[in-house]
A and B are shown apart, each in its own frame.
Chain A
Amino acid sequence: MKILVCIKQVPDMESKFRIDAEGVWYDGSDLAWRMNEYDEFAVEQAVQVKEQQGGAADVTVLSIGPDRVKEMMKKALAMGCDRGVHIADAQSHRRDPFAIASIIAEFAGDKGFDMIFTGLQSQDRGSAQVGVLVAEMLDLPALSTAVDFAFADGIITAKRELEGGMKAVVKAGIPALVTCQLGLNTPRYPTLPNIMKAKKKELLSLEVGDLLKVENLLKTEKMYFPEKKGGGLVLEGEVGDLADQLIKILKDKTSVLA
């Protein structure tokens, strides 16, 4: 069984963001980078399928981005992926979901993957498009928003999460693509021995130019900070003072202490 997992590196969302010189994306310097949260569930699910197959599966982890994404890919390898494919692209942040999906589909097209896992969405772009687009480009069934996953007899049974806590049980035969929602599983922490082992795993670099055959369909006019719409009172200072102030506010502004 051949499995592909697509992962993206994103900034820590608690970072102080700045806008880049062209005004169309955030400035990439001085940010802490990590694996897109949704993609951790994708990696974990791929590795669990491999384990379920008694190891009889080969898991490729793929990421498009500048050199720094290799750091994150090593984490995926330490979690149990077998090999990495880094599609070197210093301009990946300028591409739209259609272009990113096209690159992945171009790579995966002739490889015969039985299962492809992606995150539901990336935390910085949040388009929730790439996974489903890749499936459509490759003419595979896509099960999106999975919070539960089982595989038996060539059939994937997933639970799609709907609004309000409801779920839909859906099935598709492999080959198929699954987009992973938060809570699908419990992503493992790489252990030290596995981190060491990961260093020896193959991490191939490909040039994006060889795989990119399309143009963006979207144009970013600008990126900016939203106007603060009011927002409330901001209290800063020593904890004891803050607690006193909050008690006063609860007394003055609410009826909960009455």
Chain B
Amino acid sequence: MKALLIGEYREGKLLASTYELVAFARKLGAETAMFLVGGEADLPRYDGTLYLADAAKHGEFSPTAHKRLLLEAVAREKPDTIVFSHSSYGWDLAPRVALALNAAQVSEVVDVVDGSLVIPSCNAKLRRNLSSTTAVTVVTLQSGAFGLDDEPAGSPALERVDVEATRGPEFAGYEVADKTGVDLTKAQIIVSAGRGIGKAENLEIVALLAAALGGEYGASRPVVDAGWADHNRQVGTTGQSVAPKLYVACGISGAIQHLAGMKKSDFVIAVNTDKDAPIGEVADVLAVADVKQLLPALTERLNSL
């Protein structure tokens, strides 16, 4: 088995998620090589062949060029498995490469069991084992599902890849997140509101519980998207990563993108009407209840302590 691992590079830096690909390949028992559109200033700590294309020339987001560069590396390395992160870079590029190679793609792999790839389904309530029928298989890995036990080490043997410039979607710059306002990453206690609060007005009962506990309130993405809370209060992959002493998830189902932002919390309490909500997997305590009833009762008790 031979896997080509597709590293990621952003604003001139290698992303640490690249090492998750190495961990996956080890679990698969595959030989590896790596491909990166990056730069020599930040090379992966990796002993093996690195097919390196120049990000300064081709851009960090230029799917048409990246596809052609990667296909060039594939032609030279002849892998049977091509491994991406299931990230904004990976889910954009992987299908393009899969189609070009007549390869099946398995998205968001969380495990490998007896050679079949395990993926979540229906907000992680279900799982599916898949196998590919094609000579080459493209996979994307769920963020955080595979980790190295040891520190990555080594220096790669560089193989340059280059192609003629191509036209395609054009990149016109990055826009960074607004960093003003509350800094949730410093909060020791966070009470977060999810879609289960039902309407904007109910955010107050969450904020009141947060205040009674001496903490801050946070939110899941739909609450922010709906404009009920500011983006700097969003917890998750596209918001903040927090690690408070106490995290209370109110009406939050526990999608992987939310869990990624709060699973390092010391103690997690979930309040949810659905006993099977995936948040139960990471919660120390799941109280099966309506937030609108339980939260005021809890706040009242705290305020009279």
Contact = CB atoms under 8 A, between A and B. Distances in A.
A167 B129 contact: no
Main secondary structure of the interface of B (DSSP, over half): mixed
A170 B172 contact: yes
Contacts of A79: none
B107 A129 contact: yes
B173 A162 contact: no
A223 interface: yes
Given A125-B121, A243-B294, A170 B170 contact: yes
A220 B130 contact: yes
Nearest to B89: A162
B92 A234 contact: no
A182 B226 CA distance: 10
B188 A239 contact: no
A242 B289 contact: yes
Nearest to B302: A247
Contacts of B129: 220-224
Contacts of A165: 176-177, 231, 234, 238-239
B172 A171 contact: yes
Interface in A54-76: none
B267 A132 contact: no
A235 B287 contact: yes
A132 B283 contact: no
B99 interface: yes
Interface stretch (A1-9, A106-114, A141-149, A205-213): A141-149
Interface residues of A, number: 83
- The size class of the interface chain B forms with chain A is 35 or more
Interface stretch (A12-20, A42-50, A84-92, A194-202): A12-20
Nearest to A255: B245
Nearest to B170: A171
A243 B45 CA distance: 50
Given A136-B96, A171-B170, A232-B280, A218 B104 contact: yes
Nearest to B267: A254
Contact of B276 (A16, A128, A162, A247): A16
B284 A256 contact: no
Nearest to B260: A163
Interface stretch (B36-44, B73-81, B217-225): B217-225
Contact of A127 (B105, B127, B239): B105
B180 interface: no
Contacts of B302: 247, 257
B108 interface: yes
A221 B170 contact: no
Interface stretch (B22-30, B131-139, B151-159): B131-139
Contacts of A132: 91-92, 95-96
A30 interface: no
Interface in A156-181: 157, 159-172, 176
Contacts of A28: none
A221 B116 contact: yes
Contacts of B10: 162
B4 interface: no
Interface string A103-139: 0000000000000000011011111110011001100
A20 B213 CA distance: 45
A70 B2 CA distance: 45
Contacts of B126: 17, 19, 26, 223-226
Contact of B284 (A11, A126, A170, A253): A253
A236 B272 CA distance: 10
A166 B88 CA distance: 11
Given A132-B92, A159-B175, A169-B173, A124 B121 contact: yes
Contact of B122 (A124, A186, A245): A124
Contact of B288 (A235, A256, A257): A235
Of residues B86, B119, B284, which shows the largest number of chain A Cβ atoms within 10 Å of its Cβ?
A: B284
B19 interface: no
Contacts of B172: 157, 169-171
Contact of A136 (B99, B225, B301): B99
A160 to B, nearest CB: 6
B305 interface: yes
Given A141-B168, A169-B171, A218-B106, 8 more contacts: A26-B121, A142-B169, A161-B238, A163-B238, A165-B238, A221-B130, A223-B128, A234-B286
Interface of B: 10, 61, 63-64, 86-89, 91-92, 94-96, 98-100, 102-108, 116, 119-134, 168-177, 188-189, 213-215, 221-222, 224-226, 231, 234, 237-239, 245-246, 253, 266-269, 274-277, 280-281, 283-290, 293-294, 297-298, 300-302, 305
15 contacts: A19-B126, A129-B107, A136-B95, A136-B99, A145-B92, A162-B10, A164-B238, A166-B174, A169-B172, A219-B130, A219-B132, A243-B294, A246-B285, A246-B298, A247-B301
